[in-house]
Amino acid sequence: MSKTNMKFCDSYFLVDPTKASVFDLILLLFFPNLISARFIDSPPDTLNSARRSFASRWMIALAIFLQKVLLFITTPLAFIGRIVTYWPNLLTANGGFFNLILNLLTEKKKKPDESSATYASFLGCTDRRVELDQKIEVDTIEYKSMLSMMASKIAYENKSFITSVVKNTWKMDFVGYYDCYNAFQEKNLTQAFVFKASDTNPNLIVVSFRGTELFSSDDWCTDLDISWYVYELKNVGKVHAGFSRALGLQQNGWPKENISLIHQYAYYTIRQKLRDMLARDKNLKNLAFVFYEICHLHEINVRYNKLSYLEFFFVLFKIVLALAFVCETSE
């Protein structure tokens, strides 16, 4: 993104690991004044401040180097992930190891379907529990904490798995599953689902985002990205660029409405779904949710202080505050 297109923010520091060579990183560490800014896009004052100390230069160089390694091993890492996920599901589909051997001998081996409600992710294979604790009283803080934890856990599963758990195991209303676009990496990298817990008073709407997948180089690169923006918002510091892009930041910033007919962006898609749900239920008078700051940027009237009618839990396996646009990172 060129400097001329940064009107949507007050300041920024953007790093592109694909444009940096190992020689560039050595120059950054020991000869910072000789380095070209071809892999760092930032105002001159911000750039000079970032490379002033060796510690900050070391962190930048290390982050870029690790991202380059991850980009290099993208294919083999994904392949390993498929193998270590497939075999536990193969055992489950055939009823265990000995039954698998028997089925192989009798040519009755069952192949697991990766899109089925029984196919679990690597995380799901290590912990098969999906049931909620029936001993915890509904509509308590403990219940909401448990529900948040379980929603974050199953967020790593496929659509059929999530739908089955929400509807059949939790007996709740499944609203939708969303596979959303990242305009900067040009892939669908943001997954989220929405469901409604009708047994609480008032009803609880949960929006759960998938976090970092163990065998996804793209996800790990997002975590390691040290790029940030400073938006025109009071009391909000530097916002992690990777999570901004995951939520729906576009090349021209944050348009008030998504006009794309091709791609779904997480913030715009889920915001519209919540609008529709609120419009259908006249008893929901106040809105509290993690997208507050972007909605404020778009002059959408929301309130933080009264949570007596509706609460939204945006659950992440990692770094919820970054997605909430209230994180502040150090220089």
Secondary structure in 3-state letters for 99-127: HHHHHHHCCCCCCCCCCCCCCCCHHHHHC
Residue 243 has a pLDDT of 87
Does residue 329 surpass a pLDDT of 50? no
Mean model confidence pLDDT for the chain:
80
Distance CA 75, CA 62 (A): 22
Selection from 129, 170, 114, 120 nearest residue 147 by Cα:
170
Distance CA 281, CA 277 (A): 6
Distance CA 209, CA 181 (A): 13
Integer Rg of the chain from CA: 22
Peptide bond into 202 cis (omega under 30): yes
Highest mean pLDDT among 190-194, 236-240, 255-259, 278-282: 190-194
E strands, the chain, where? 9-15, 40-41, 173-182, 187-197, 204-209, 228-231, 238-240, 312-315
Helices (H) and strands (E) in the chain, counts: 13, 8
Residue 33 has a pLDDT of 72
Residue 119 has a pLDDT of 96
Q: CB neighbours of 114 closer than 8 A, spacing ≥ 6?
A: 89, 158
Residue 123 in tokens: 């995380």
- Mean pLDDT for the stretch of residues 103-128: 91
Q: Taking the CB of residue 91, how many other CB atoms lie within 10 A of it?
A: 16
pLDDT band at 197 (very low <50, low <70, confident <90, very high): confident
> What residue has token string 């689902």?
193
Residues 172 and 150 sit within 8 Å (Cβ to Cβ): no
Distances (CA, A) of 72 to 66, 77, 238: 10, 9, 29
* The pairing of beta strand 312-315 with beta strand 204-209: parallel
Residue 145 has a pLDDT of 87
Q: CB neighbours of 279 closer than 8 A, spacing ≥ 6?
A: none
Does residue 294 surpass a pLDDT of 80? no
| 233 vs 67, higher pLDDT | 67
Q: CB neighbours of 96 closer than 8 A, spacing ≥ 6?
A: none
Q: Which of 59-63, 84-88, 217-221, 288-292 has the lowest mean pLDDT?
A: 288-292
pLDDT band at 5 (very low <50, low <70, confident <90, very high): low
Q: What is the tens place of the pLDDT at every residue in 131-186?
A: 999 888 887 888 888 998 999 999 999 999 999 999 999 999 999 999 999 999 99
Does residue 225 surpass a pLDDT of 70? yes
User: With pLDDT > 90 as the criterion, what percentage of the chain qualifies?
Assistant: 38
Residue 302 has a pLDDT of 41
> What residue has token string 């715009």?
268
pTM of the model as a whole: 0.81
- Mean pLDDT for the stretch of residues 36-62: 83
DSSP percent split of the chain into helix, strand, coil, nearest 5:
45, 15, 40
Residue 63 has a pLDDT of 93
User: With pLDDT > 70 as the criterion, what percentage of the chain qualifies?
Assistant: 80
Residue 216 has a pLDDT of 95
pLDDT band at 125 (very low <50, low <70, confident <90, very high): very high
Does residue 120 surpass a pLDDT of 90? yes
Selection from 210, 220, 151, 206 nearest residue 179 by Cα:
210
Tell me 4's DSSP state: G
Q: What is the tens place of the pLDDT at every residue in 64-115?
A: 999 999 999 999 999 999 999 999 999 999 998 898 899 888 888 899 999 9
Distance CA 158, CA 120 (A): 8
